[in-house]
Amino acid sequence: MPKGVYVRTEDAKRHMRKPKTKAHCEHIRQGKLGTVFSKKWKENIRLSISGSKNPNYGHPRDAATRLKIKIANSGPKPYLRGKNNPNWRGGIYPLVKRLRNCPVYKAWRTAVFKRDNYTCRRCNKRGVILNAHHHKKRWSILVKEAIKQNPCMNPYDACICYAPLWRLSNGITLCEICHNKTKGDCHER
């Protein structure tokens, strides 16, 4: 964006005064999706509606109303989950990332580390960042196999149910450096 002062012409101002169409609103919404608010930004928003600037300032609520608000603001909100959430982007979160965060994967990884005594099996280093590596058969191949085996299930559930993906014997503990060396090395996987 160029620096300096924007000079708005009369034509531009007239354009800005025009009422927004639905398509325009949607365009703005799409542009704002996934915006990360910085700490300073959040603080500015907080300050702009705190104290006497708040529309509720000077209008105390009775106990019953406060209780109603409390109930409405607590507990799970199914109406904001998944597709109902305004930040929903059509379920684009990658399957591999979802699998890597699931409890089954974490349990498998911990089991591999424990079996190898938290030591890299190649350079025998300890106390470094460790990775659990699928060394006999590639992880990506196993994921594809799992989806193929259970075509009627959704891909995530199919992977969770596919035992070969979580076989301890297919896991090996490697440090980050050794793990990076295996990438692109077909014989090692």
Closest contact distance (angstroms) between CB of 138 and Zn ion is: 19
SS3 sequence of the chain = CCCCCCCCCHHHHHHHHCCCCHHHHHHHHHHHCCCCCCHHHHHHHHHHCCHHHCCCCCCCCCHHHHHHHHHHHCCCCHHHCHHHCCCCCCCCCCHHHHHHCCHHHHHHHHHHHHHCCCECCCCCCECCCEEEEECCCCHHHHHHHHHHHCCCCCHHHHHHHCHHHHCHHHEEEEEHHHHHHHCCCHHHC
The smaller minimum CB distance to Zn ion, of residues 119 and 150, is found at: 119
Closest contact distance (angstroms) between CB of 24 and Zn ion is: 55
Closest contact distance (angstroms) between CB of 1 and Zn ion is: 46
The smaller minimum CB distance to Zn ion, of residues 120 and 146, is found at: 120
The smaller minimum CB distance to Zn ion, of residues 122 and 137, is found at: 122
Closest contact distance (angstroms) between CB of 39 and Zn ion is: 38
The smaller minimum CB distance to Zn ion, of residues 159 and 178, is found at: 178
Residues that bind Zn ion (CB under 5 A): 120, 122-123, 175, 178
